[in-house]
Structure 1
Amino acid sequence: MRVLPVILIVCGVLAVSDGAKILAVFSMGAHSHFTLGFKLAKELADRGHDVTLINAYPQKTPIKNLKEISVAEMRIIMDEQKKGLFDMGTMTYLGQLRWVSNMGNFYTDHVLKNKDVQKLLNSNEQFDLVLMEDFVNKAMTIFAHRFNCPLIILAPGPTTVFNNDLFVNPSPSSYVPNFLANFGSSMTFWQRLKNTYYDIVGQLFLHYVLLPEQDAILKEAVPNAPDLKSIIYNASLMLTASHISLRDAAPLQPNIKEIGGYHVGPLKQLPKDLQEFLDNANEGVIVFSMGSNLKSADFPKAKKDAVLKTFANMKQKVLWKFEDDLPEKPDNLKIMSWIPQQEVLAHPNVILFITHVGLLGTIEAIYHGVPLLGLPVFWDQEKNIEEAVLKGFGLKISFPELNVDNFAWAVNELVSNPKYRQTAKTRSKIMHDQPVKQMDEAMFWIEYVIRHKGAPHLRSPGLNLRWYQLHLVDVALFVLSSITVLFVGIFCACKRVFSGKHEKSKKE
């Protein structure tokens, strides 16, 4: 009998019996980000908590214990921002940081100025906890300050240069790759040098660009708000939408918990025509999707033609998320404007997932043991597929480099070589082999923070230190100064002794 799951369930039942009031802030107008927040909010509501959810995708059917504050206008605003995503992958590291921070500033400003959000901020509401996504929106920590309650943040990925500081989480540049790096933890000297550069530039950008800009946004939307730096370090816990089955081991503070995969399931029934398409694929099915933010219909003609030519020569069936008509499609290709991705990847006939390598789709592929062909476009997608390649369950073609030759070779290699699917199944076993399900662990820690009034005992003492104390700069300077004084003293003493002997010899 496993004791831990029983303890977690008992604790969960005790917490639910005295339901808490929770404010969940997941306001970005991107469906993948909404999915992460909605899954947690709905589960909390189902467990008896009173949840208020600020989001851009309000539900048509009311959900028990869940009240929504709509910022649906963010979807229109974000659609304009998304038009530049295909160009983002050609930007420098600093250029990508700048592009994403501009987007974050834009949507943070609009959300905080939303009339219903302003009404909430100026209300007499009381909450026991604020749960919010942390993605270039630091100003939204004002909710926890305003309602004087603990804060839990959800990182839509692993720990990064943008959130490690909040918990003094160590991230050595020597073996923890930056989230925008295109290499793994076993780095060459030049990769370690590049990784160090990425981390230092990221830290400088965070503290001298992003935080001041977010602070200005906060002061404009909430005139009596405190300085942002005085409230962002008060988070009690961070949940990360990452998992050890995808990336290499890295340090984590006790108040940082990996729950990647919690958004998977429960699976719904597939539409009849799609179910039959998958069931009748005796040679297997290749699934192709560029996610919710990128559109395959926007592919340049040369790249679209390369994809179609390759698929036409395959004996497998192909399911492609394509958002427009495609008259020239081959007979083995089925297109849909939206794919129930989790349910499709769970089908036993699916043998390959071609993807932009967004984190959620990558996790779903690992969860169901499906190998990947990654076509990374921007942000963490390059890193996600690099991890898959290094671990042996994927291949990579950077989107700008996609052509008929490399695409056809990669698809045929992944389909015909069984090692990729075997490795994907191994990674899937790692994801599934844990004492409790990811969602149950998330619920336990959320309720734990509520029960323990913010769980201050999990807080790192490092948060009480200044940066030069944390990194032992003062100690290093003291030791260096002491050694310098010692050597200067020895030098002066030796000089005096030898000078005295020289004078004595001259007199003699």
Structure 2
Amino acid sequence: MKTIVTVVLLLLTSQCGSCAKILGVFTAPGRSHYILGSTLMKALAEKGHDVTVISSFGEKEPPKTKGTYRDIVVTELLENMKEMLKGQKMNMFDQDDMSPFIATAFMAYMMPKMMEPALRDKSVQNLIHSNEKFDVVIVEQFMNDAEKALATHFGAPLIVVSSMGANYWVNSIVGNPAPVSYIPMMSTDYSIPLTFCQRVQNSLLFLITEVLFKLYVYPAENQKIKKYIPNGPDISDVLYNASIILMNSHPSINQPVPYVPNMIDVGGFHVKPPKKLPQDLQEFLDNAKDGAIYFSMGSNLKSAELPPEKRDAILRAFSKLKEKVLWKWEEDVLPGQPQNIKLSKWLPQQSILAHPNVKLFITHGGLLSTTETVYHGVPILAIPIFGDQKQNAKAAVDNGFGRMIPYSEITEDRFTQNIQEILNNPKYRSSAKKRSEAFHDRQVSPMETAIYWVEYVIRHKGAPHLRVAALDLPWYKYHLLDVISFLVLVISVTACISYYSIRAVCRKVCNKRKSKKLKQN
């Protein structure tokens, strides 16, 4: 009996010993960002860890998991974004023709202000001033660097989650090389290889971003740390403190680029096996004998806010198709709706893309949507508007599984031509299937990879052995400016000495010859 009790106690102890307290911070006021964060945190809770999530959304019902799952919802972030859009009378479709230079400056100016309510929220402040401790803090990278100081405050290692592939925001904090000669900046839509003009613009954009971050963004984030976190560390001690970065990317979707050891690809970890569709959607897609088109502009953009001239051009193009169209439309009525269109305010995107009759996905080109369409091998027609959407759309075009139509160029004829080209040319579906095969060809699933690395950081109390020495070098040493200056000086001095030495020898020889001539005469 005593032996049995001992065994039971040992089992319980070993199970408890593997449980960790994890804080997740995913405060970006965009549902796609929350989907990534909550999917990871729920998986960690399912593994038996005790999870706390600070976000702008939260779960309607607490998920049933082996560990605990606690929500801290910051509602002010969403309200701030709505007020900003309303106050500036901004329709998000208006950002289509925004210059990448203006877009970069706009993001750098607005994001630190927009994200501040997360730290001043009463529930977050209560957590900060509690005596709680965490084994690891996971923060999404979204121009919210002050939130990383929570890891220092709670005495825990820091893990960063990038909602996109490698970019300036993450490369700079782990010392990852990112030559602007062939890696486009995030707000551009450049194809690889870059032309000379694109390399000039890319270099200028990089320099402007550097100046904005060093002179405005980081100082603004530093002020937030000092204001909201007791004895908060300096931003310079926070920025380069990440043990690992979980990258929402994969070579089947993103451009292959250099990675330092603590950058881990987990692109597609949010994708789940398709579920059974609601009966009305199942019947609609099953009855689409000529195929179906799925149209969604994501969670931030609303199709219902399309200007009438763009909406009507799209409707006229759809009305000429034999294929059925499933459209995510946020209102009850679509003026002039053709019979082959079915509307819904919400649609189970992943399960729809898995249906064999879906032949085309018309999308804004967000990374989650792009990842899901590659997962299921469905070609896309992208209408990118802002952020990384243009780059994702351009990648789809370059990789052969989609086409792109600029929002400003949407007409009935252009829209129809692009749809017909994708539907009637088998190369797009073939390329999409090849990309899907590459996406699925992994040793373990992306979620298993993400969980392994989170637990790895917990086991090792951080991962300082993965940190590259570049982070400890000042910029002039990293770029070898001191070595270049030294070599230029040595070469210059050697050249000068050689020049004057040769000049002196030449003069001496000339003088000897002159004196010889004089003697002979």
Interval of TM-score (by shorter of Structure 1 and Structure 2)? over 0.9
| Equivalent of 1:179 in 179, 183, 186 | 186
Measure how far apart 1:402 and its partner are: 1.1
1:6 — aligned with what? none
| Equivalent of 2:422 in 406, 414, 418 | 414
After TM superposition, the structure 1 = structure 2 runs for residues 8-23 of structure 1, keeping only pairs within 5 Å, are 18-23=18-23
User: Which amino acid is 2:256 matched to?
Assistant: A
Which stretch shifts more, 371-380 or 88-97?
88-97
| Equivalent of 1:207 in 199, 214, 222 | 214
1:74 aligns with 2:77: yes
Measure how far apart 1:201 and its partner are: 2.4
TM-score, normalised to structure 1's length? Answer: 0.94
Which stretch shifts more, 308-317 or 75-84?
75-84
2:10 — aligned with what? none
- Contact map agreement 1:52 1:69 (CA 8 A) in 2: yes
- Number of residue pairs matched by the alignment: 495
Q: Which has the larger radius of gyration?
A: 2
2:119 — aligned with what? 112
- Contact map agreement 1:219 1:225 (CA 8 A) in 2: yes
Give, in whole Å, the separation in 2 of the partners of 1:415 and 1:223.
59
Give secondary structure in 2 for the equivalent of 1:172.
coil
1:216 aligns with 2:216: no
Give, in whole Å, the separation in 2 of the partners of 1:103 and 1:153.
21
- Contact map agreement 1:162 1:206 (CA 8 A) in 2: no
User: Which amino acid is 2:488 matched to?
Assistant: L
Give, in whole Å, the separation in 2 of the partners of 1:343 and 1:100.
33
TM-score, normalised to structure 2's length? Answer: 0.92
2:432 — aligned with what? 424
Measure how far apart 1:415 and its partner are: 1.1
Pair 1:372–1:16, CA change in 2 (3 A): farther
Measure how far apart 1:97 and its partner are: 1.4
User: Which amino acid is 1:347 matched to?
Assistant: H
- Contact map agreement 1:85 1:294 (CA 8 A) in 2: yes
Give, in whole Å, the separation in 2 of the partners of 1:411 and 1:466.
51
Give secondary structure in 2 for the equivalent of 1:478.
helix
Give secondary structure in 2 for the equivalent of 1:236.
strand
Give secondary structure in 2 for the equivalent of 1:243.
coil
1:360 aligns with 2:360: no
Give, in whole Å, the separation in 1 of the partners of 2:272 and 2:499.
72
| Equivalent of 1:270 in 274, 277, 283 | 277
1:8 — aligned with what? none
Give, in whole Å, the separation in 1 of the partners of 2:210 and 2:374.
31
2:147 — aligned with what? 140
Measure how far apart 1:15 and its partner are: 8.7
- Cα deviation per residue 1:77-123 (whole Å; 9 max; x = unaligned)? 22334545222232222211122233321232111100111111111
- Cα deviation per residue 1:440-472 (whole Å; 9 max; x = unaligned)? 110111111111110111111111211111111
Measure how far apart 1:502 and its partner are: 4.3
1:399 aligns with 2:402: no
2:495 — aligned with what? 487
- Contact map agreement 2:108 2:213 (CA 8 A) in 1: no
- Contact map agreement 1:144 1:151 (CA 8 A) in 2: yes
1:10 — aligned with what? none
- Contact map agreement 1:243 1:258 (CA 8 A) in 2: yes
Measure how far apart 1:193 and its partner are: 2.5
1:3 — aligned with what? none
Measure how far apart 1:17 and its partner are: 5.7
User: Which amino acid is 2:97 matched to?
Assistant: T
Give secondary structure in 1 for the equivalent of 2:156.
coil
Give, in whole Å, the separation in 2 of the partners of 1:15 and 1:41.
19
Give secondary structure in 2 for the equivalent of 1:376.
coil
Pair 1:314–1:245, CA change in 2 (3 A): same
After TM superposition, the structure 1 = structure 2 runs for residues 273-288 of structure 1, keeping only pairs within 5 Å, are 273-288=280-295
Give, in whole Å, the separation in 2 of the partners of 1:129 and 1:372.
38
- Cα deviation per residue 1:389-448 (whole Å; 9 max; x = unaligned)? 011111111111211121110011111111101110110000001110110110111111
Measure how far apart 1:29 and its partner are: 1.7
1:250 aligns with 2:253: no
1:158 — aligned with what? 165
Give, in whole Å, the separation in 2 of the partners of 1:217 and 1:71.
16
- Cα deviation per residue 1:119-165 (whole Å; 9 max; x = unaligned)? 11111110110001001111111111101111010011011111101
Give, in whole Å, the separation in 2 of the partners of 1:84 and 1:228.
34
2:299 — aligned with what? 292
2:44 — aligned with what? 44
Give secondary structure in 1 for the equivalent of 2:246.
strand
Give, in whole Å, the separation in 1 of the partners of 2:154 and 2:131.
9
User: Which amino acid is 1:488 matched to?
Assistant: C
Measure how far apart 1:19 and its partner are: 0.6
1:60 — aligned with what? 60
1:351 aligns with 2:359: yes
Measure how far apart 1:346 and its partner are: 1.0
1:315 aligns with 2:327: no
- Contact map agreement 2:244 2:262 (CA 8 A) in 1: yes
Measure how far apart 1:383 and its partner are: 0.5
Give, in whole Å, the separation in 2 of the partners of 1:443 and 1:102.
34
User: Which amino acid is 1:124 matched to?
Assistant: N
2:175 — aligned with what? 168
- Aligned CA RMSD, in angstroms, stands at 1.7
Give, in whole Å, the separation in 2 of the partners of 1:188 and 1:95.
21
- Cα deviation per residue 1:168-220 (whole Å; 9 max; x = unaligned)? 11111222222222223322333223322222322222222221222223223
Which stretch shifts more, 222-231 or 455-464?
222-231
Shift >6 Å, 4+ stretches:
none
- Cα deviation per residue 1:476-508 (whole Å; 9 max; x = unaligned)? 111111101110111121222233344445554
After TM superposition, the structure 1 = structure 2 runs for residues 429-468 of structure 1, keeping only pairs within 5 Å, are 429-468=437-476
- Contact map agreement 1:29 1:72 (CA 8 A) in 2: no
- Contact map agreement 1:30 1:78 (CA 8 A) in 2: no
- Contact map agreement 1:386 1:396 (CA 8 A) in 2: yes
2:234 — aligned with what? 227
Give secondary structure in 2 for the equivalent of 1:468.
helix
Give secondary structure in 2 for the equivalent of 1:141.
helix
User: Which amino acid is 1:79 matched to?
Assistant: K
Measure how far apart 1:16 and its partner are: 8.1
- Contact map agreement 1:15 1:451 (CA 8 A) in 2: no
Give secondary structure in 2 for the equivalent of 1:268.
coil
2:381 — aligned with what? 373
1:474 aligns with 2:482: yes
Structure 1 stretches lacking a partner, 5+ long: 1-13
User: Which amino acid is 1:252 matched to?
Assistant: Y
Pair 1:42–1:175, CA change in 2 (3 A): same
Percent sequence identity over aligned pairs: 42
Give, in whole Å, the separation in 1 of the partners of 2:287 and 2:17.
48
Give, in whole Å, the separation in 1 of the partners of 2:337 and 2:416.
16
Give, in whole Å, the separation in 1 of the partners of 2:213 and 2:275.
41
- Contact map agreement 2:108 2:212 (CA 8 A) in 1: no
Give, in whole Å, the separation in 2 of the partners of 1:365 and 1:431.
11
1:190 aligns with 2:197: yes
1:5 — aligned with what? none
